[in-house]
Amino acid sequence: MRLENKVALITGGGSGIGKESALLFAGEGASVVVVDLNPEAGQAVVSSIKAAGGQAVFAKADVSKSADCQNMVQVAEDTFGKLNVIFNNAGISHAKDDDAVSTEEDVWDLTFAINVKGVFFGCKYAIPAMLRAGGGSIINTASFVAVLGAATPQLAYTSSKGAVLSMTRELAAIHARQGIRVNALCPGPLRTELLMKYLNTEEKRQRRLVHIPMGRFGEAEEMAKAALWLASDDSSFTTGATFLADGGITSAYTTPL
């Protein structure tokens, strides 16, 4: 049990990486706060955890709202008595995100409100709780595109994930001696609903796959396992890391196989 006696909060916990992480963390002994904007999806994950004998509670939150993020941390402490892990995973990739000329201001603002401000608010309210608990682990979902840039224009998304990397590094330096570790998980292209709605033909999928040395898309379950390592004491000497789980795409992005 790698997270025995730990309390973990996961945003975007109703689907994708967040859902798989919630299920995995609970299976490893954590009490889990499943946070999502969609109560039906979040409650379904909570029900699955409880059916398997685990402990979980749902908290509804729009992570771009300060009060919602403050409340979700309060739910963790009120329900389970503490907070040891927060996985700031909620994020969006807007369908109208494009290059600088074509991307509208409202698309930029919404992307940053969720992807950047949401991580900021998660950290803002989780860090005091972690200090009360004696330390903890913060995991922020960034992306491989924050390291490389995207082959298909998605400027707001790429820029927002770059901001997450910078925030992660600075918070790691600030809080390292307080027993709080802060790391960024950077997934490569995944077989998730979010990406597959854009790569909606075999031709589009193959154009992306040619750049991935492993020749396949990653799975949400694989990102959950990476997050588990960062959440657990197994990564006790790891902070400020850009943790790439990308099938090798950043090592050979311009080299078709």
Just list the catalytic residues: 157
Q: Contact at 8 Å (CB) between 246 and 187?
A: yes
Q: Residue 98, class by beta-carbon neighbours within 10 Å (0-12 exposed, 13-18 middle, 19+ buried)?
A: middle
Residue 55 sits at φ, ψ, to 5 deg, of: -115, 130
Q: Residue 168 corresponds to which amino acid?
A: T
Q: How far apart are CA 14 and CA 137, in angstroms?
A: 21
Q: Which two tokens stand for residue 154?
A: 């998605």
Q: Residue 117 corresponds to which amino acid?
A: K
Secondary structure element (H or E) that encloses residue 220, with its range: helix 220-231
